[in-house]
Amino acid sequence: MNRIDRHPVLKTTQDRTKVFFSFNGENLQGFENEPVSSALIANGVKEFSVHQVGDAPQGIFCANGQCSHCTLIIDGKPLKSCITPLKEGMNIRTMIHLPELPPDDRDLDKFGPLNLKCDVLVVGGGPSGLTSAIELARLGYEIILVDDKDKLGGKLLLQTHKFFGSIEDCYAGKRGIEIAALLEKEIRSFENIKVYTNTSVAALYKDKKAGLFIDYKNYAVVDFEGLVISAGAREKNLVFPGNDIPGVYGAGAFQTIVNRDLVKSSDRIFIVGSGNVGLIAAYHALQAGITVVGIADILDNVTGYKVHADKIKRMGVPLYLRHTVLTAEGEGKVERVTIAEVDESFNPLLETAKTFEVDTLLIAVGLSSIDEFYNTAVQFGYKAVKTGDADEIAEASSAMFGGRIAGIQLAKILGRDVDIDESWYAKAEILKSRPGKTKNEPVIEITDKYTPIMHCYQEIPCNPCISVCPSGSIKLEEALGNIMDLPYYTGEECTKCGMCIAVCPGLAISVAKKLYGEWAEVVLPHEFLPSFHESEFVPLTDTEGNVLEKGEVVKIQFNKKYRTYLITFKVLLENAAKIAGIRIQDEDKIKPLPKPVFNYVPDNSILCRCERVSVGEIINFIRENDIKDANQLKQIRVGMGACGSRTCSILLPRIFSAAGVSWYEVAAATKRPLSIEIPMGAIINEESGETL
């Protein structure tokens, strides 16, 4: 079983009921109510269905219920396995081509409408949705909050790392999973907030009503006055040969499987994209015991926080900048990934190709807002606001402030005489700031007194270290006058309490002291279960990941509050100020094959994953028919699949450009109204007949 049974942060000994089920006639075991997809992945299954086009194998892609790649035949019905809870005795089979629905000639004797009513409907239980609901509830509004997962928190539930920002304003120094628990506790304290989890909004209607697919079983119509859209974002895809084979999926899907479901989905992964999502996914993989072979980015600089990238490099993950992915290949699943350098026009240089043996390729090239419901609401004249990633892609710390602002804004739209704290706007802007200037690493002299060393040289919104220092000896520079300023040690007495080391989200603080002669002591943060003991020698690196020496482990402490190990090493004095981290991965594990192995045919890349329409097919169709309306692509099935073109539509501008047509000349495609498939029986609630 590919389960995560030891983790430095997550509780792995959970009280879960084991159940047995069959897959293609083989008896397997899983946990009751976990997603069927995760139970199968834990049992080593990566192929879920076989597409009718080319008999292509399909695997998990979004793990979010938005596509159809994980569809299986479950007890005779085609169901999305990532949102179907596992039950004892389930009969599960691979879906081959288009499924046949089982005959059903039962009389409909139990059915009836389900009707709900509230003042405000909040769509999405992530950080912004929760904070907007809290603000509206404080004003006395009756709230219905819906989220398509079984727990509130959104992407916070996947985040095992500590957050940036400020402790006072957005829980900086706490992990996403901890913040989610705090926000949910506050939500549950309001009697005027009714929460529906495992519930999707199916559609918005012109008469100011919405359809809810509750617990993926029943359909209800809710009547409301105001609407908050905080549905988050979906991951962008990339076009390259092999981009649709099992083992290629989004970083968010990976975090869902690994951090939420505690399934070790992979042994060796490669990541495309050096933004915070890709960098954090690499960190989460390492914590789960998964080898991270490398991270590639087509740009010449890391797009995420430098402290995130430095942390990953210190642990032994190489970053390949100005590289792109050429192919993902394997027999029915990912077995190899090939990357290559790019020229000034971002075209791949095939002679620089490098092939790595991996079983998973994560795509982390950005997010696109899920704002379709907001756009529909505006079209229908709703009183509505959008917030969080549905409004603007930013960090969760900023989303929490954005949600608070959106809640008050909606109250004003609804006629309430309320004011928004002007400081919220400023704080939200700072928290979503892009990284600022990067300064040179300072020269620090190590003395016989403990000295905190900040391996943090880029302006980002973060100040937990100054908040927890009991002696006040860590301050922020005053160049910008806000939390984007860099921290520094004032030279006052350091007590070596270790709080600054433990709280730092970037693991970017060490404490050093001269011992005697040529020796010094260094204390480093470590968010892994130590694989070493006292008196052992461990490779230590500088900020850029270069191994400086093997330091002797003197002491291993555990900070319970921040769940971070503080490891004391005896090192050479000359290296003490430069040592910033502990190497996790051996270099031998991440080397490419001696010679590249790949078959690069770009036009074979799949653009529309649901219907398996290739880039070459689309370009030829556009050229041959002088296409200027994206709706016309539906003739060759582009955008006609289960995801409703949400994945492929983002890539269409690039494809039209390749066909010689400016995207500005192209009429946009009409979106399908329903956001999720609903069985006809569920729409009339034939199994319920109850009024919720």
Question: Which CATH number is 115-233+369-431 given?
Answer: 3.50.50.60
Kindly state the average pLDDT of the residues 205-222. Answer: 91
Determine the angle formed by the axes of helices 422-431 and 396-413, rounding to 10 degrees: 150
Nearest by Cα to 457 from 483, 439, 435 = 439
DSSP of 16-41:
--EEEEEETTEEEEEETTSBHHHHHH
At residue 607, φ and ψ (nearest 5 deg) are -95, -55
The angle that helices 276-287 and 306-314 make with each other, rounded to 10 degrees, is 30
Residue spans of the domains in the chain: they are 18-99+237-363, 115-233+369-431, 451-590, 606-692
The model's confidence at residue 110, banded by pLDDT at 50, 70 and 90, is: low
**Confidence check: pLDDT of 154 > 60:** yes
Q: Does residue 689 have a pLDDT over 70?
A: no
Give the pLDDT confidence of 266-281 residue by residue, as tens digits: 999 999 999 999 999 9
pLDDT bin (cut points 50, 70, 90) of residue 692 is very low
pLDDT (tens digit per residue) in 24-35:
999 999 999 999
- Judge whether residue 209 has pLDDT over 90: yes
Question: Please, which pLDDT band fits residue 665 given cuts at 50, 70 and 90?
Answer: very high
pLDDT surpasses 70 at 691 = no
Measured between alpha carbons, how far is 348 from 350 in angstroms, rounded to an integer?
6
Which pTM value belongs to this model? 0.93
Mean pLDDT of all residues in 100-122? 81
pLDDT, tens digit (0-9, with 9 covering 90-100), for 491-513: 878 888 999 999 999 999 999 99
pLDDT digits (tens, 9 = 90+) for 169-193: 889 999 999 999 999 999 999 999 9
Dihedrals phi, psi of 620, to nearest 5 degrees: -65, -40
d(Cα 376, Cα 370) in Å, to the nearest integer?
Answer: 12
- CB count within 10 Å of CB 201 equals 22
- In CATH terms, are 18-99+237-363 and 115-233+369-431 the same topology? yes
Q: Each residue of 355-405: pLDDT tens digit? A: 999 999 999 998 888 898 999 999 999 999 999 999 988 888 889 989 999
Q: Please determine, for residue 688, whether its predicted confidence score (pLDDT) is greater than 60.
A: no
Single-letter amino acid code for the residue at 421: D
Q: Give domain 18-99+237-363's CATH superfamily.
A: FAD/NAD(P)-binding domain (3.50.50.60)
E-strand ranges in 330-397 read 336-341, 354-357, 360-363, 367-369, 383-386
* Whether residue 99 has pLDDT greater than 90: no
Percent share of the chain, pLDDT over 70: 98
Which residue type does 622 have? I
Element holding 422 (H helix, E strand): helix 422-431
Q: What is the mean pLDDT of residues 242-269?
A: 94
Average pLDDT, rounded, for the chain: 92
Helix (H) or strand (E) holding 656: helix 652-658
Say how far apart CA 594 and CA 33 lie, in whole Å.
Answer: 45
